[in-house]
Structure 1
């Protein structure tokens, strides 16, 4: 069989995201959170496409590609994720700039939309800059407030209103703002019967037990397995190219780093349950998180790109560095299916310097647990979350 043209890029991206995604989720601690590793990868991948020299080498270690190869990887992985559109998956990336962007950079990212930051000094931009813009171009405004409003409007549209604003406020110092949006709304291949939803005990991370609305259904035993100390259950979604949703439950002393990474681990370390079926008890819940990722970037291997003197000469002749990275994400699990959305923001400023037969297992997610949404191949983590506290109705 001829491999899919994006297989190589998807594989390298998935390897990179799983590797540093494990380090990233540990930095959230034991609190409730949801994040979008693939969204962060796509955002960093776009800026990596414009990096050169040591900055490019640094980002190549994080993204898995640099320069023109990063642009190609971002384009092809974005299109692969977008193949799930029939199953409710959407992805979009846009760049607003107050400095001229190189034509080669734009051409290398054909699926990224480019526009001029509202309030940019238009008289300082050469005519060529306007040829790079499309429906994201705006009339000159007064600066950060206009840019914030315009981009927030794009965010609402790209996420179907699930996320209403950028995760980081703009202050007017930005010379370039990159925004990636991921959104999905998928139905379970077989819904949880609503009449079986009832309160059941949930013991939170502080050891406090309280009743929470809990969904129940019986699923095939093949949908569950163990990876190390962690039990994983995958629930299929309906539709061609549908995402894979996995729930991961560890022992009481396990944290999100151990539990979540087990949900996206490869099949080599899996131990089947061997049961004919599993009686599943899963809380109905939602998670929402806004994260300033900037402080986490050094732990992910990004240091040079966030300092004045970074080399993004493949993006623009202006001397730029990454001044901020933020992400807002949400995840909702209910009887009918899953909804999720994430907005990743990268801002750049000017540099100041250079079975047991017949058995039925019972799996109750009645204590802190993880949830992961992967692409249809099961290789690229789109969303990852941790539920520590008791869900409320």
Structure 2
């Protein structure tokens, strides 16, 4: 069965996951990962489990973040990759909640994402995936975490001073480079206490196998409230894959390169909202039901983007333990998480990009259990603690005297 990779609202980019993996490349240069090469993933493994998990979390996030009657685009793949990297440094309840929300398998999560990356984004394919870590100079980072990032995600660590404006500029420059300029920035504002940032970027560009013809620059398109708007429409008549089920119909429109296609899912007039068709069960039914058919296919051109506070929506899914990333650094917590995505669809094909970023400040520590304010006369003793020997003792009655 074809497994879905969500990149749209009522339109879904689907990878049929070719088995060939891309070549092993050296990890980018970093603090301690300069000599660690990305590992070739082992055969088999739990990659289907992580695909099922990111498909479900994509739908759950969309239900909470998308405006019911608005355009919507996001990349569950980008979000899952970013949180999988964070999971490599998570512990305790933080790790348990991430496993529950993303359905990460008990073992082999990072190897599975490594394998999935190679299947989805081989060299020369229409999809590119990039991962990155930035850290404050001097911040101690767990070596096992850095090894996992280098060997399984192809990422080293870059040092940047988050107290300077150059930090945001460096991160945004990476975002622009990895998304071919489609996304210009990651954070609207970066917390000045940030000490580390994890990011994933995805870029997709492919032409249709059969180009559409522009048919009507101002055809009528009915909006959710029943009103109409004039929209540019395009058409192709071709042999495509078609499926239908209770309350919906779907067409698979293939791209020229790679094992990718767009699923266009259309609810029946009496059916539910388009967003409902992104439910994992419905996508599975589409994959099982697709059959060759000669289709007269008409749809509009579109271009829009979306962004949202990912951490706020993750809290709605039950991710509340944001403080245990001890595998990265014992003092870090997740302070910000954002997601941005954009898509353009026209007669020639599709261009889409997404970026997910997580900013981690240093925790202020637990709330004090005792308040001790020496603002009146007190005594002191300089002690050798093993033997309890007082080397100096004294009192302070007027510190200004």
TM-score range, shorter chain: 0.7 to 0.9
- Stretches of 4+ aligned residues off by more than 6 angstroms: none
Higher relative contact order (CA 8 A, sep 6+): 1
**Is the CA contact 1:72–1:108 (under 8 Å) kept in the aligned structure 2?**
no
**Is the CA contact 1:291–1:326 (under 8 Å) kept in the aligned structure 2?**
yes
User: What is the rounded CA distance, in whole Å, between the counterparts of 2:196 and 2:71 in structure 1?
Assistant: 31
Partner of 2:228: 209
Partner of 2:109: 70
Instruction: Choose which of 153, 161, 164 in structure 2 pairs with 1:118.
Output: 161
**Is the CA contact 1:56–1:67 (under 8 Å) kept in the aligned structure 2?**
no
Equivalent residues in 2 for 1:25-104 (5 A)?
Answer: 25-27=62-64, 28-30=66-68, 31-65=70-104, 69-83=108-122, 85-98=123-136, 99-104=139-144
In the alignment, structure 1 residue 159 sits paired with structure 2 residue 179? yes
Deviations 1:273-317 (A, max 9, x none): 88x422111001112112111110023332112xxxx2212122x
User: What is the rounded CA distance, in whole Å, between the counterparts of 1:302 and 1:59 in structure 2?
Assistant: 7
Instruction: Choose which of 172, 180, 192 in structure 1 pairs with 2:200.
Output: 180
Deviations 1:108-139 (A, max 9, x none): 122013111224xxxxxxxxxxxxxxxxxxxx
User: What is the rounded CA distance, in whole Å, between the counterparts of 2:283 and 2:124 in structure 1?
Assistant: 26
- Report the 3-state secondary structure (helix = DSSP H, G, I; strand = E; otherwise coil) of the residue aligned with 1:176: strand
In the alignment, structure 1 residue 229 sits paired with structure 2 residue 247? yes
Structure 1 residues 90 and 250, CA gap change in structure 2 (3 angstroms) = same
Partner of 2:304: 287
- Report the 3-state secondary structure (helix = DSSP H, G, I; strand = E; otherwise coil) of the residue aligned with 2:104: coil
User: What is the rounded CA distance, in whole Å, between the counterparts of 1:298 and 1:281 in structure 2?
Assistant: 39
In the alignment, structure 1 residue 331 sits paired with structure 2 residue 343? yes
Deviations 1:325-357 (A, max 9, x none): 101110111111010000111111222336xxx
Deviations 1:51-110 (A, max 9, x none): 112221211122333797333333332232222x42321110101012221111111122
Provide TM-score, normalisation by structure 1: 0.75
User: What is the rounded CA distance, in whole Å, between the counterparts of 2:190 and 2:204 in structure 1?
Assistant: 27
Gaps of 5+ in 2: 1-18, 21-41, 367-401
- Report the 3-state secondary structure (helix = DSSP H, G, I; strand = E; otherwise coil) of the residue aligned with 2:203: strand
User: What is the rounded CA distance, in whole Å, between the counterparts of 2:217 and 2:182 in structure 1?
Assistant: 27
- Report the 3-state secondary structure (helix = DSSP H, G, I; strand = E; otherwise coil) of the residue aligned with 2:231: strand
Provide TM-score, normalisation by structure 2: 0.73
Deviations 1:191-239 (A, max 9, x none): 1134x3543210112211122110011132x511113312111111112
Equivalent residues in 2 for 1:290-309 (5 A)?
Answer: 290-305=307-322
**Is the CA contact 2:302–2:344 (under 8 Å) kept in the aligned structure 1?**
yes
User: What is the rounded CA distance, in whole Å, between the counterparts of 1:6 and 1:169 in structure 2?
Assistant: 42
User: What is the rounded CA distance, in whole Å, between the counterparts of 2:149 and 2:192 in structure 1?
Assistant: 26
Question: Per-residue deviation at 1:269?
Answer: 8.0
User: What is the rounded CA distance, in whole Å, between the counterparts of 2:249 and 2:280 in structure 1?
Assistant: 8
**Is the CA contact 2:73–2:306 (under 8 Å) kept in the aligned structure 1?**
yes
Structure 1 residues 313 and 33, CA gap change in structure 2 (3 angstroms) = same
User: What is the rounded CA distance, in whole Å, between the counterparts of 2:231 and 2:95 in structure 1?
Assistant: 48
Instruction: Choose which of 294, 297, 313 in structure 1 pairs with 2:326.
Output: 313
User: What is the rounded CA distance, in whole Å, between the counterparts of 1:96 and 1:304 in structure 2?
Assistant: 22
User: What is the rounded CA distance, in whole Å, between the counterparts of 2:283 and 2:318 in structure 1?
Assistant: 22
